[in-house]
């Protein structure tokens, strides 16, 4: 198999559990990797409301609660689900390749796409 050079490897899939997301720093950016019912999701690790680290948050099913002010986001979409969070967090499509979680760092922001569709 030829490696996709546009992809960025974040971690091994076995480093992530439903209860313990994985914080990954790559090229100056910080990502939070989650697994929900066997599917992997990658979000910006920094909360859209402030400095909270979502990988250090409390996972409740398909939501993560920010440890800073307890706002919540849907892990699958990055959309806020509970105040004080009102803005989505950036998401990337998680690709599982040979046991590694990879993203395309240049992928368009899915939450931005959703906002454009609403306008």
Residues that bind ligand FES (CB under 6 A): 47, 49-52, 66, 68-69, 71, 84-85
Residue 77 is encoded by which pair of tokens?
């979409």
Q: What residue is closest to ligand FES based on CB?
A: 50
The nearest distance, CB 60 to ligand FES, in angstroms, is 14
**Nearer CB in complex with ligand FES: 45/102:** 45
Q: In 3-state terms, the chain is what percent helix, strand and coil (to 5)?
A: 15, 40, 50
**Nearer CB in complex with ligand FES: 28/51:** 51
Residue 21 is encoded by which pair of tokens?
């997301």
* Burial call 64-87: b when 16+ CB within 10 Å, e when fewer: bbbebeebbbbbebbbbbeeebee
**Nearer CB in complex with ligand FES: 42/54:** 54
The nearest distance, CB 111 to ligand FES, in angstroms, is 16
The nearest distance, CB 98 to ligand FES, in angstroms, is 34
Residue corresponding to tokens 């974040």:
10
**Nearer CB in complex with ligand FES: 65/102:** 65
CA distances from 17 to 12, 22, 83 (A): 11, 8, 26
């Amino acid at each position: 198999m030829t490696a996709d050079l546009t992809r960025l490897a974040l971690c091994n899939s076995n480093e992530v559990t439903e209860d313990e997301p994985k914080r990954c720093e790559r090229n100056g950016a910080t990502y939070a990797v989650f697994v929900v019912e066997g599917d992997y999701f990658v979000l910006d690790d920094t909360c859209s409301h402030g400095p909270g680290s979502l990988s250090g948050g409390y996972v409740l099913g398909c939501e993560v609660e920010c440890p800073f002010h307890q706002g919540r986001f849907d892990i699958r979409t990055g959309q806020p689900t509970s105040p004080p969070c009102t803005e989505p967090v950036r998401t990337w499509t998680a690709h599982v390749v040979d046991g590694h979680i990879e993203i395309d760092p240049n992928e368009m922001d899915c939450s931005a796409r959703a906002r454009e569709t609403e306008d």
